[in-house]
Amino acid sequence: MTATALPQLCTGLPSFAADDPGGWTPMATFARATDTAGVDCLLISDHVVFGEQLEEYSKPEVGGSKGGTQPTGPDGHWLEPITTIAWLAGQTSQVDFRTNILLAALRRPVVLAKMAATIDVLSGGRLALGVGVGWQAAEYEAAGLSFEGRGALLDHALEVVTTLWCERQASFSSDLLTFSNIHQMPKPLQKGGVPIWISGTFRKSTVRRLATFGARWIPWGPDAGDILNSAPRMREAVAQAGGDTVGMRIVGNLSLRKAENGGIDVDTSMERVGAMLEAGVTDFSVRLDTPGDYDDAVAYLEPIVAGFRAAVGRSATN
């Protein structure tokens, strides 16, 4: 289940392509292989539309990553994450799914709450929503929303969905939306609703969201690159803001090292795990160059999973 406190091994789901891939069967094969091999969580990106100012991705002042490059052009093929997770959850049984990140403000909150609760119920509680404000004004403009007000729109969406998930007879009032005595069933299987992960750099708004909606952090920009320092710093800030940090979860990027034979040098790859655990990292995100064949992919993944579990002190079966 997503709510476990055990260290987790995560990897990105190949749900986008620069050009038409001619079908998405390889993505499904990848998901099924990770499920069999014991990878804990698949991460899936989100873009609803693209404008043509993709250079904005490299600008931290609008939410981008300094020096970063958008992985596709404006006509890149990007699958919508919620519907993609629904499709893949039906083909898997163990692996969790997390949006990374969902532009939650672009969805009507009442519909997002319903979609997420439905997937959580049907998947057996294997969904989490990683959310953020994004970097591209064109997506907000196409949705008829204010890019300048994207932070407030995200907060509003999170307030509405958590209300609908947690209250049997829900009422809500804001400048944007008012309802009373609203019923939405079924509720998510996971206690407290679908877990929400907050993406962002170390700033007041990120700290506040973590303290309000659950202390699960997806570092961005320089904080992701300096996780040994940023993780304890964020933990302290969230605690000072009144958040519950006892079970706080933080994502850290773990680089896998190549062996001379072209495979993965698992022992060397896991050398940094101890320091990351000590800093407060709980979810280790790796990039995988997995073979396309299902059996070959499982064989490639299993030693990595075993090495990770040994490095974090997990048994072979948990």
What is the band of 64 on the pLDDT scale with cuts at 50, 70, 90? confident
Task: Supply the range of the domain harboring residue 143.
Answer: 8-312
DSSP symbols for 291-313: -SSHHHHHHHHHHHHHHHHHHHT
Q: How far apart are CA 47 and CA 179, in angstroms?
A: 29
At position 119, the amino acid (one-letter code) is: I
- Is the CA virtual torsion 149, 211, 203, 53 positive or negative? negative
Q: How far apart are CA 248 and CA 246, in angstroms?
A: 6
In a domain, 66, yes or no: yes
pLDDT digits (tens, 9 = 90+) for 189-215: 999 999 999 999 999 999 999 999 999
In a domain, 317, yes or no: no
In a domain, 258, yes or no: yes
In a domain, 86, yes or no: yes
In a domain, 211, yes or no: yes
pLDDT of residue 45: 96
Mean pLDDT of the chain: 95
In a domain, 178, yes or no: yes
What CATH number did the domain enclosing 41 receive?
Answer: 3.20.20.30
Q: Is the pLDDT of residue 220 over 50?
A: yes
pLDDT of residue 2: 39
What is the band of 3 on the pLDDT scale with cuts at 50, 70, 90? very low
Q: Is the pLDDT of residue 4 over 60?
A: no
- Mean pLDDT for 23-47 is 97
pTM: 0.95
Q: How far apart are CA 261 and CA 263, in angstroms?
A: 6
pLDDT digits (tens, 9 = 90+) for 128-165: 999 999 999 999 999 999 999 999 999 999 999 999 99
Q: Is the pLDDT of residue 186 over 50?
A: yes
Q: Classify the phi-psi angles of 112: left when phi > 0, otherwise alpha if psi is within -120 to 50, otherwise beta.
A: alpha
Of the chain, the percentage scoring pLDDT greater than 90 comes to 90
pLDDT of residue 117: 98
At position 96, the amino acid (one-letter code) is: D
Instruction: Give how many domains the chain has, as a whole number.
Output: 1
In a domain, 2, yes or no: no
pLDDT digits (tens, 9 = 90+) for 104-125: 999 999 999 999 999 999 999 9
- Mean pLDDT for 159-172 is 98
In a domain, 1, yes or no: no
